[in-house]
Amino acid sequence: MGIYLLQEGIHKQMDSVRSQFFWRGDYDKFKYHMMKWENVCLPKDFGGLGVINTRVFNESILMKWVRRIYNCSENDPCCRLLRLKYLKRKPLMNYKSSKGSQFWRGNIRFWEDVWIAFPRLYELSNDKSKVVRDVYDGGSWHINFRRTLGAHDLGAWEKLMNLLEGVQLNEEPDKVRRALEKSGVFSTKSMYRWFLHRGVINKRLQKLQTGVELKKRKWNGSEKCNLCERAKTVDHILFSCVIAKFVWTCFKEALGSDRVPISWQDFLDNWIPLECKDYSPKLFISTIVCWALWTTRNKRVVDGKFPRYPTELLIKSNMFLQRWKTLLRGNDLVKIEEWVAQVKGWLGTFLEKMRRRPPEDYFM
């Protein structure tokens, strides 16, 4: 399993043997499986029983070879053989192939590889496939855009240049640091949990009983949002509805973030990306916001209770934040305590300003 990518048929055979033993033990009598084996294999804190998912585990173990190749020494005959056979004495990121994973394809591209943000500038760039060496020349950066940048885009451009100011390229080999571990060292456990984590979130979101999903099951109700008259998808309820935009914007201002997420994919890619410094506390606080939005939506749709003021969602989110922060430990708890103080202070100032405005202007 640590050398070959096993075929799907092998995984199915292993799952069949393990699931039969799990549900009926050593008895020959048939017993119903009470839940999907895929859910049984989830970690306990994800709602499963912690049984190993062989597919994900196989891929996680194989990822160790990437680390070995990067940290290859001249005394390691196995890695030397792999380098000579596949890399042709080139760096790993310079290897080009029509097959294989992302770790075996392409150079590091300035815009498209995960090392910096600024999606708006990316959309305006002329050539999105340029590698870093193509836009770096003697200490200066040369990037072409389709049109002249506006005031908002110029602000993003200045931030980008400030980040790149201290970047200096040299001939030394690159060093790999694992963003999943605080130590920066690769571990199979962190990679395994990461693969499962992304899969669990996406699959569970697809099962949320939104208007669009219920319509697929021949529901007789309306799939339109009663506020925006747009389809009630997960992205709409949690991010693009007027209430969701209001809540995310308030948290953005309270925490000093530079942008708000516009969709679930944007949330994963840009709000809490893989290299995010405060990944755990950001995921924690974002989950609270999503839960407040979802429960408010349920009361509005099922019970017909609409919040009198949009600030009720901020108060509910802050209440959840105070109640659930006890689940955190160490540096994550310290960071959340700091953010709670920021949110509480900002919320008090904001509510004081809102009291001076007429109620009909609250959602404007």
**Domain, as residue range, for 243:** 208-361
How many helices (H) and strands (E) in the chain? Answer: 16, 2
* Same domain, residue pair 355 and 229: yes
* Same domain, residue pair 231 and 312: yes
Report CA 232 to chain centroid distance, whole Å. 22
* pLDDT confidence band for 106 (50 / 70 / 90): very low
* Same domain, residue pair 238 and 339: yes
Coil, strand, or helix at residue 136? strand
The verdict on residue 304 lying in a domain is: yes
103 pLDDT more than 50: no
The total of other beta-carbon atoms located within 10 Å of residue 42's CB is: 19
Residues 216-255 have pLDDT tens digits of: 777 787 788 877 888 888 888 888 888 888 888 888 877 7
Report CA 125 to chain centroid distance, whole Å. 25
Residues 315-341 have pLDDT tens digits of: 888 888 888 888 888 888 888 888 878
Phi-psi region of 44 (alpha: psi -120 to 50; beta: other; left: phi over 0): alpha
* Same domain, residue pair 82 and 48: no
Residues 273-286 have pLDDT tens digits of: 656 677 778 888 88
* Same domain, residue pair 89 and 114: yes
Q: How far apart are CA 361 and CA 273, in angstroms?
A: 35
- Give the chain's mean pLDDT: 76
The verdict on residue 196 lying in a domain is: no
Report CA 137 to chain centroid distance, whole Å. 33
Q: Whole-prediction pTM value?
A: 0.56
The verdict on residue 307 lying in a domain is: yes
Which of 16, 41, 64 is where one domain is finished?
Answer: 64
Overall number of domains in the chain: 3
pLDDT, residue 101, reads 44
Q: How far apart are CA 339 and CA 201, in angstroms?
A: 24
* Same domain, residue pair 113 and 40: no
The verdict on residue 267 lying in a domain is: yes
Q: Write down how long the chain is.
A: 364
Coil, strand, or helix at residue 302? coil
* Same domain, residue pair 102 and 56: no
* Same domain, residue pair 42 and 15: yes
* Same domain, residue pair 96 and 50: no
Stretch 29-47: mean pLDDT, rounded? Answer: 80
Which of 132, 164, 196 is where one domain is finished?
Answer: 164
- Residue 161 or residue 82, greater confidence: 161
- For 138, 154, 205, the CA distances from 301, given in Å and listed in that order, are 60, 42, 18
Q: How far apart are the first and last CA of the chain?
A: 57
* Same domain, residue pair 101 and 143: yes
Which of 104, 134, 164 is where one domain is finished?
Answer: 164
The verdict on residue 175 lying in a domain is: no
The verdict on residue 192 lying in a domain is: no
The verdict on residue 199 lying in a domain is: no
Amino acid at 5: L
3-state secondary structure labels for all residues of 197-233: HHHHHHHHHHCCCCHHHHHHCCCCCCCECCCCCCECC
The verdict on residue 40 lying in a domain is: yes
- Which run of H or of E encompasses 137? strand 136-137
* Same domain, residue pair 142 and 22: no
Q: Do the beta carbons of residue 114 and residue 274 sit within 8 Å?
A: yes
* Same domain, residue pair 121 and 81: yes
* pLDDT confidence band for 87 (50 / 70 / 90): low
Coil, strand, or helix at residue 122? helix
- Residue 99 or residue 19, greater confidence: 19
